[in-house]
Structure 1
Amino acid sequence: MALTKTQIVANHLAEKILKGQYLPGDSIAGENELATTLGVSRTSIRAAIQTLAGKGMLSTVAKMGTIVNERNRWNWLDIELLRWISEFDVDHELIPSLMEARLIFEPNIAALAALNATSRDLVALEEGYELMVKGEKTVDRDLFNEGDIKFHKALIASSNNCFLLSMGDALITALGMTFKHTLEQEVELSAPAIKMHFDLMEAVRMRDVEKARSVMRNIIMDAIGKTIGKDVTFPQFIL
């Protein structure tokens, strides 16, 4: 699907910000300059700026124009922001933070899934698992990753918690980001990961809350070893 002019401008500005061409506190180019450079109307420029302001990336300040905000003001759960980070392949240092967030949320999501999963949820989990198996057998990394994402989407849905469901898209987008940084590119080496996902699926099926929590933690720790190495340390209270 073709991008709208507003989306083109938003992507252009986001890339410059994420790649450090605009730093926090910098004023971005003016509306007229951007309109001329990108060949769009000032209306599209304003709409794009509003889009990025809604994500916390920009602010309009009297007598200063539109400035780039400090990163602690950005909405890090915004799906489009996470997509930009992945697409522009920036901020590798975010991966440890993503893994910390996964360690905080996903083991307990798995525990809730063991309590609340319906028969339909279990079918969705199995569909994701089967795609992972097929991807490994056919040496198709993209298919394996597709199954992995489907599995984790189904796990979040299985929690049947409306607040966690609202966070789900951000967690899944973050999961997809880590695929680009995995140290294990050979899908043939993914048999242990498949076994852990099977064990998690069975723990949810058997309503084994503590096993589901433990296996999910092991899955994440395995992913940490494949993305940022086994020597990384995290606060003890989230382990």
Structure 2
Amino acid sequence: MPLGALRRSPLVDQAVQHLREQITEGHWPVGTRLPGENALAKTLVVGRSTVREALRALAGAGLVRARQGSGVFVIAAEPAEDWPARLRRAAITDVYEVRMMVETQAARLAAARRTDEDVAAMEAALRARERAAGEDDAAFVDADIALHAAVVAAAGNPVLTDLFAEFAPALREGLIDMVGLLELRGHDRNPGHDAHTALVAAVRDGDAAAAGDLLQAELEQTLARLHGKPGA
């Protein structure tokens, strides 16, 4: 596919797409030195700043690497898999094991750092989870994840908050499937209500040990179900 002028915005996104196609379709094999910024800008009919941003995006995707004094070289034929994509294809049990480690510590931090606003948010999320008990499985799982997200947010660590947000889509898909396959809401439309109520109370009361233990026990029970262990 030959390079050509770009006609629509955003120009950087289009430049990235065109340059990526040259690499992934084999026009620029691994080891190839890319044309200079001036040549690329002239071919694509864009400014050098647009080319520079596009090359930076390609480097972030693991396709090219700049070598000082030598230029920009192709180092891979396919973009590196990003974190959300890795999570989407991961086994839910693997995701859950990491979630358990992250959330247990987050609950302990939340108990030590929670503000009045955090407590209000957790209590509101708990009530929303109770209301969702009368809805379908997807709505209930969404409400459950929202409550856990409120606990993580109360830890006051933006990295933890962002990390949980990355996990959430993979968790949601896996939990909806699990709830349906194992008929977890067949006899109790609001499973785990007592445990979640106790968790919110422990965080509110500043009991870090209890908050961590309660969340650990709840997540271990769910993980056991995911592994199909009897008696879970």
Pick the aligned partner of 1:115 from 109, 112, 116: 112
Deviations 1:91-121 (A, max 9, x none): 233x343223222221111011112211110
Counterpart of 1:184, as a letter, is V
What's the TM-score once normalised by structure 1's chain length?
A: 0.62
Q: Percent identity at matched positions? A: 20
Aligned residues: 192
Counterpart of 2:168, as a letter, is L
1:140 maps onto 2:136 in alignment:
yes
1:236 maps to what in 2? none
User: What SS is found at the alignment partner of 1:191?
Assistant: coil
Instruction: Tell me how far apart the structure 2 counterparts of residues 184 and 150 of structure 1 sit (CA, whole Å).
Output: 17
1:184 maps to what in 2? 179
Does the aligned pair in 2 maintain the 1:203–1:209 contact within 8 Å?
yes
Cα RMSD of the aligned pairs, angstroms, is: 4.0
User: What SS is found at the alignment partner of 2:76?
Assistant: strand
In structure 2, relative to structure 1, the CA distance for the partners of 1:10 and 1:223 (3 Å cut) is farther
In structure 2, relative to structure 1, the CA distance for the partners of 1:221 and 1:67 (3 Å cut) is same
Does the aligned pair in 1 maintain the 2:137–2:179 contact within 8 Å?
no
What's the TM-score once normalised by structure 2's chain length?
A: 0.63
Instruction: Tell me how far apart the structure 2 counterparts of residues 49 and 145 of structure 1 sit (CA, whole Å).
Output: 40
Q: Which has the larger radius of gyration?
A: 2
1:124 maps to what in 2? 121
Pick the aligned partner of 1:159 from 146, 155, 159: 155
How much does 1:216 deviate?
1.0
5+ residue gaps in structure 1? 15-26, 33-40, 77-81, 232-239
How much does 1:181 deviate?
1.9
How much does 1:165 deviate?
1.7
How much does 1:47 deviate?
5.5
Counterpart of 1:215, as a letter, is L
5+ residue gaps in structure 2? 1-8, 29-43
